[in-house]
Chain A
Amino acid sequence: MSVLTRDVTCREAVELVTDYLEGSLSTRERRRFEHHLARCDGCEGYLAQVRAVVAATGAVGPEDLDPATLQGLVALFEQYKGDS
């Protein structure tokens, strides 16, 4: 097997996950990655983890605003309304 077609290792595969999810691997890289994934529960699990993390990060959303900051911004809004 040549270097170009050898299987990726798990250590290498985990570093391809973002590019894979973003659709930015070359066709050959994607094939090698998917070929590995099909036979590796660990890396399949890793990809599932990253998918879960992305979904959870979006679902959880940004930090809650502290009440003092919110009050300050609402005051700004009232002041602006008064001016306009």
Chain B
Amino acid sequence: MDDEVLLEKLLVGDQDAFRALVSRYHSSLVRVARYHVDSDAAAEDVAQDTWVAVLRGVHKFEGRSSFKTWLFKILVNRSRTAGSRDRKQVPVDTAFAEPTVEQSRFDAGGAWTDPPTPLDDLVSAHLDDALVVRAIRDAVRELPEPQQAVVTLRDVEGLSTYEVSALLGLTEGNVRVILHRGRAKVRAALEGVARGGLP
């Protein structure tokens, strides 16, 4: 069911609609909150506060942005007022980027010696497979900040790079650099599954 349909139901106090929205977004909210506050418990609190703000404000939601964008904006505002640490601009070194693919896979001239294993079959035919789902979610969960927040917003939730940059207070260029590093790790994890073979 669409977010917008669930919102309509939420407006009339439908508990199932609330359950559905919470099930859909709460873990991502906690992930992104964790970027702004300095403990898991504080992140959980901020995510909870966000739902309270949603319940209070749902009748004022005008649908000018998507519900998802509105929701994450509330989260970021709550994080900032929740007495979170002063988030220093994360230094993102764009000039010297560490390689994102194991260097042993290239020869001295920089050409592949151990080329990529195709993943199309894995993700098209086995996306319901618990092992594949687990591999992706674990890989995202194990990303360091700010990669985790960026990959969650951009790839898990599908927000635009512009939206992610606004939510996290990063330049779009930095979002792309961080995204590049985060995605590379998820890619490596999935390739590991493909090479190990599915049970």
A interface with B by C-beta (< 8 Å): 9-12, 14-15, 17-19, 22, 24, 40-43, 45-46, 48-50, 52-65, 69-70, 72-74, 76-78, 80-81, 84
Contact = CB atoms under 8 A, between A and B. Distances in A.
B120 A76 contact: no
Interface in B98-130: 99-101, 103, 106, 109-112, 115-120, 122-123, 127
B15 A50 contact: no
B123 A55 contact: yes
Contacts, number: 148
A58 B137 contact: no
Nearest to A8: B110
A59 B24 CA distance: 12
Contact of A9 (B109, B137, B158, B187): B109
B15 A49 contact: no
Given A11-B106, A69-B26, A62 B156 contact: yes
Size category of the binding interface on chain B: 35 or more
For the residues of A in contact with B, the DSSP-based class is helix
Most A Cβ at <10 Å: residue of B25, B97, B116, B152: B116
B41 interface: no
A73 B26 contact: yes
A2 B55 CA distance: 62
A6 B173 CA distance: 25
B141 interface: yes
Given A9-B110, A11-B110, A70-B19, A53 B55 contact: no
